[in-house]
């Protein structure tokens, strides 16, 4: 038996490939969404960029453009003229040799023939035309000359019917007559279709008689017309891409095709019919070829078809037209032009687009726009919380970052046992883990189980103490212009997810403050775009936080403030904001007075200072001392872990230990 060999599957999409990872796609979109892009825009940007395993639309479009440039730089038109000239030179050389060798020829006849040969015009087309009635003395010369007419006929047909040049090589007069008959029948069918008088039976009869000329296998007359029109339009663009001299030479030579002008008449009739039936094809374009590899009419038409196909792919990949979708992508054309791997990438992107819309991560709002669903918000919050927890662990060494209390009500979830845990075992999960481990190592669980430490899971609990948490986030324009907008939103999402999933008895209020302050839910904050808004109205934000705290009198109160600037606005008695820069004493006084009122409620306060503004540093330090609070100055990328850590430290009943503020 021959040894088996294995390699990468190349028959299209990998049938064993895992389904697309929508969670990874959502995470990749998250920064764009938090920047203020709509989910629709963020999805488009993700599809353009792709990821580590899948090339995005921009890279595929770049490869399309590179292939287009390669085709133009590699080729030049005029290959048929070059081939005709070569055959003509061969015929003339053979004729001169025969005239020199034939000692029995009449000298007058020899001189006349020599004069005809010597006086041929330099134009290939004109020389071929003058030699149409020449009585060749050399059999080899006559055969070379006849090959010119045969070549032209095959090239003219190949320009309209792919593969005709090879199919008619060495064709007999009967074969050529059959082609002429096919063209006549085709033109009659096209004329009948243009008048609306054709029937399916007419098409069936035509294909039964001439189907061998159409390897594409069209099943309807419209498919046949589409195929013919695309090729014919490419042939017209190829002629327009030639120089005026090349075009004139070719048109004059074409009269010699197969030695019969009837062929060109039938082809002209077909082109006119197709142009009328498919006016939307590009019949008038042209390309600039710059290479040195000559193309004949048939090959040149094929290259022009490739260029047209590449242009269509470029438009599809741009997704810039109304109603565009990746389902529009012609994956077969992409595979033909760029290979199977590009087609797999395109299918993957189309599957991600479809799955993101159908999975429940995105939903249509009342205005028709796509929005993140609650499921997507949970998934995104979970990812951001996981990232914040990892950063928190990195900053504080081998610190316990489990985000549930050590005692209290069970959350309904379980987690692996860790040294020092006092929670009750989750027996079902523990036994299941032991069975799974035993079976995976070849053992038989039916013969008994041996528990290991890694099998043990305990019931997760949350602390019974409940907290009311107000997270105040600065949304003034400096937050966006200084690169703090996305970290601020990531922080709010992470904290929201932590409270919603692990401390469900707590209540979180998100409050944004620019010139005004306002209460927001997490979906509103996620979608909030950066706007040029002057003012940092911490006074108004503290006022709203105080109202929130007073509505939760039985809870422990936690105030978290994220800002990158001193207060520059406060509310007047009439409710209007008053802005001034630098900060006015009245603004600072109003802000401090509102903070005092919040502190008297028993609030535990932490300020998160972003940036290195000395004035802000002094102001927040004074505020923290005033209310026995703390100031944390994290890097923007560490903001999430800093806020989560402070929440866990400030929250009564948390068991995660202290947190060292920078």
Residue 492's alpha-carbon distances to 120, 137, 242, 560, 631, in angstroms, are: 87, 95, 64, 11, 18
Range from 387-391, 462-466, 648-652 that averages highest in pLDDT = 648-652
Residue 325's pLDDT band, with cuts at 50, 70 and 90, is confident
Judge whether residue 5 has pLDDT over 70.
Answer: no
pLDDT surpassing 50 at residue 412: yes
More confident: 82 or 498: 82
CA quadruple 226, 228, 233, 234: dihedral positive or negative? positive
Residues 620/631, Cβ–Cβ less than 8 Å = yes
Residue 76 bridge partners (DSSP): 294
* Per-residue pLDDT band at 381 (split at 50, 70, 90): low
User: pLDDT by residue (tens digit) across 576-608?
Assistant: 888 888 889 999 999 999 999 999 999 999 898
Report the number of secondary-structure helices (H) and strands (E) in the chain: 25, 14
Check: CB of residue 621 under 8 Å from CB of residue 437.
Answer: no
> CA 188, CA 194: separation in Å to the nearest integer?
10
* Residue 552: partners with Cβ closer than 8 Å, 6 or more residues away: 468, 507
Looking at residue 539, its pLDDT comes to: 94
* Mean pLDDT in residue range 46-73: 88
3-state helix, strand, coil in the chain (%, to 5): 55, 10, 30
Average pLDDT of 609-632?
90
Element of type H or E holding 605: strand 604-609
pTM summary value: 0.62
CB-based contacts of 224, cutoff 8 Å, min separation 6:
203, 214, 218
pLDDT for the residue numbered 87: 92
Question: Tell me: the pLDDT tens digits for 176-214?
Answer: 888 888 999 999 999 999 999 999 999 999 999 998 888
Lowest-confidence region among 34-43, 94-103, 491-500, 622-631: 34-43
**pLDDT tens for each residue of 432-453:** 988 888 888 888 888 888 888 8
Query: Residue 558: enclosing H or E segment and its boundaries?
Result: strand 556-563
- DSSP E strand stretches across 409-456: 409-416
Confidence band of 15 (pLDDT split at 50, 70, 90):
low
* Residue-level pLDDT at 657: 38
Higher per-residue pLDDT: 634 or 626 = 626
Q: What kind of fold does domain 467-650 have according to CATH?
A: Rossmann fold (3.40.50)
Helical residues (DSSP H) of 75-122, grouped into ranges: 79-101, 107-118
Read off the pLDDT band of 360 (50, 70, 90).
Answer: low
Give the domain ranges of the chain: 22-53+340-372, 76-309, 406-462, 467-650
């Amino acid at each position: 038996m021959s040894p088996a060999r294995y390699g990468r599957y190349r028959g299209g999409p990998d049938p064993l490939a895992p389904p697309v990872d929508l969670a990874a796609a959502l995470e990749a979109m998250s920064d764009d969404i938090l920047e203020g892009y709509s989910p629709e825009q963020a999805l488009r940007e993700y599809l353009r960029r792709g990821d580590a395993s899948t090339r995005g639309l921009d890279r595929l479009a770049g490869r399309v453009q590179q292939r287009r440039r390669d085709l133009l730089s590699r080729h030049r038109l005029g290959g048929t003229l070059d081939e005709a000239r070569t055959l003509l030179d061969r015929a003339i050389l053979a004729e001169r040799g025969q005239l020199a060798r034939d000692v029995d020829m009449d000298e007058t006849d020899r001189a006349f023939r020599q004069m005809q040969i010597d006086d041929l015009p330099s134009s290939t087309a004109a020389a071929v035309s003058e030699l149409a009635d020449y009585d060749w003395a050399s059999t080899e010369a006559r055969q070379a000359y006849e090959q010119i007419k045969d070549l032209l006929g095959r090239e003219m047909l190949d320009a309209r019917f792919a593969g005709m040049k090879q199919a008619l090589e060495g064709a007999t007069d009967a074969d050529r007559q059959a082609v002429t008959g096919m063209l006549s029948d085709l033109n009659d069918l096209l004329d009948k279709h243009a008048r609306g008088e054709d029937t399916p039976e007419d098409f069936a009869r035509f294909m039964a008689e001439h189907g061998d000329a159409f390897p594409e296998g069209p099943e309807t007359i419209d498919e046949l017309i589409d195929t013919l029109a695309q090729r014919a339009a490419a042939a017209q663009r190829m002629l327009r891409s030639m120089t005026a001299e090349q075009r004139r030479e070719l048109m004059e030579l074409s009269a010699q095709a197969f030695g019969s002008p009837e062929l060109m008449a039938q082809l002209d009739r077909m082109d006119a019919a197709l142009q009328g039936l498919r006016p939307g094809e590009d019949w008038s374009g042209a390309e600039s070829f710059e290479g040195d590899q000559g193309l004949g009419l048939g090959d040149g038409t094929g290259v022009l078809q490739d260029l047209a196909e590449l242009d269509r792919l470029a438009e599809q990949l741009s997704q810039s037209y109304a109603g565009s979708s990746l389902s529009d992508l012609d994956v077969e054309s992409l595979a033909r032009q760029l290979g199977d791997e590009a087609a797999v990438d395109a299918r993957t992107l189309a599957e991600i687009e479809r799955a993101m819309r159908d999975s429940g991560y995105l939903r249509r709002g009342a205005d028709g726009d796509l929005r993140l669903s609650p499921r997507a918000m949970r998934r995104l919050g979970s990812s951001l919380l996981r990232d914040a927890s990892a950063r928190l662990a990195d900053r504080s060494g081998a610190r316990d970052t489990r985000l549930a209390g050590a005692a209290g009500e069970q959350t309904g979830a379980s987690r692996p046992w860790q040294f020092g845990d006092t929670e009750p075992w989750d027996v079902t999960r523990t036994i299941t883990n032991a069975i799974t481990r035993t079976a995976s190592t070849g053992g038989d669980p039916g013969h008994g189980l041996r528990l290991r430490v890694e099998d043990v899971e305990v019931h997760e609990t949350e602390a019974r103490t409940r907290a009311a948490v107000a997270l105040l986030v600065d949304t003034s324009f400096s937050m966006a212009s200084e690169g703090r907008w996305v970290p601020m939103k990531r922080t709010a999402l992470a904290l929201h997810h932590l409270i919603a999933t692990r401390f469900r008895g707590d209540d979180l209020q998100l409050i944004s403050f620019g010139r005004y302050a306002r209460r927001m839910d997490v979906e509103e904050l996620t979608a909030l775009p950066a706007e040029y808004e002057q003012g940092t109205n911490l006074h108004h934000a503290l006022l709203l936080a105080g109202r929130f705290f007073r509505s939760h009198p039985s809870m422990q109160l936690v105030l978290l403030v994220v800002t990158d600037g001193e207060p520059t606005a406060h509310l007047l008695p009439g409710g209007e904001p008053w802005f001034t820069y630098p900060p006015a004493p009245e603004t600072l006084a109003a802000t401090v007075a509102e903070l005092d009122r919040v502190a008297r409620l028993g609030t535990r306060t932490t300020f998160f200072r972003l940036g290195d503004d000395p004035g802000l540093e002094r102001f927040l330090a004074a505020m923290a001392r005033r209310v026995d609070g703390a100031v944390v100055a994290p890097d923007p990328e560490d903001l999430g872990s800093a806020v989560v850590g402070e929440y866990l430290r400030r929250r009564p009943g948390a068991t995660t230990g202290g947190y060292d503020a920078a």
